[in-house]
A = this chain, B = another copy of it.
Amino acid sequence: MTDPAWLDEEEQETWRAFLWTSRLLNEALDRQLQRDSGLPHAYYMILAMLSESPGRALTMTELAAIVHSSPSRLSHAVNRLEEAGWVRRVKHPDDRRTTIAELTDAGFAVLAEAAPGHVAEVRRHLFDPLSREEMLRFRETLHALLASLDPDREAPCADGKG
């Protein structure tokens, strides 16, 4: 039996491989986006998710759920994006608590300019090294982990800009 309080060598290696892979991938993407568009990855994601939504707008709470961000983080981020003129805050007409974040035309333009390079980077690092079959198995494994990490979550939205 394996000692539940420790990791055996294969687990150990798997764990570190996962850690380094996710770190390196995130850093590569962050660097690419920062260099080519001056956007951190988290900010790019906010613009991307807004662009896919009806009216290019979402309430802060919806947006926070979609980009997996804390309310606080999102609020700070939208402050920056608003200063840059890429997002606009609008009050909800029926519920005066909620504020709506809306992608501006300038924001859409920045996103459109950044997207191809970003997608290319994702493809290069994540999909080029994997066969289709391997990719699909990888996806299943990730879904299993997600189900455990985040039991009560809806399926994420989908389209190619991510």
Q: Which residues of A contact B (CB under 8 A)?
A: 4-26, 28, 68, 116, 119-120, 122-123, 125-130, 134-139, 141-150, 156, 158-162
Contact = CB atoms under 8 A, between A and B. Distances in A.
B146 A141 contact: no
Contact of A145 (B7, B68, B130): B130
Contact of A17 (B10, B28, B139): B139
24 contacts: A4-B120, A4-B123, A5-B120, A7-B162, A10-B135, A12-B159, A12-B162, A14-B126, A14-B136, A14-B139, A18-B142, A20-B146, A20-B150, A20-B156, A21-B149, A22-B26, A23-B68, A24-B68, A28-B149, A125-B149, A129-B148, A130-B145, A134-B141, A138-B138
B5 A116 contact: yes
Q: Which one of A7, A8, A135, A147 has the highest number of Cβ atoms from chain B below 10 Å of its Cβ?
A: A7
Given A10-B135, A24-B68, A141-B137, A17 B130 contact: no
A146 B68 contact: no
Determine how many copies of this chain the complex contains: 2
Given A120-B5, A130-B141, A138-B138, A146 B10 contact: no
A5 B124 CA distance: 11
The 9 A-B residue pairs with the shortest CB-CB distance in the complex, in nearest-first order: A22-B22, A17-B142, A129-B148, A14-B139, A6-B160, A24-B149, A7-B160, A138-B141, A21-B142
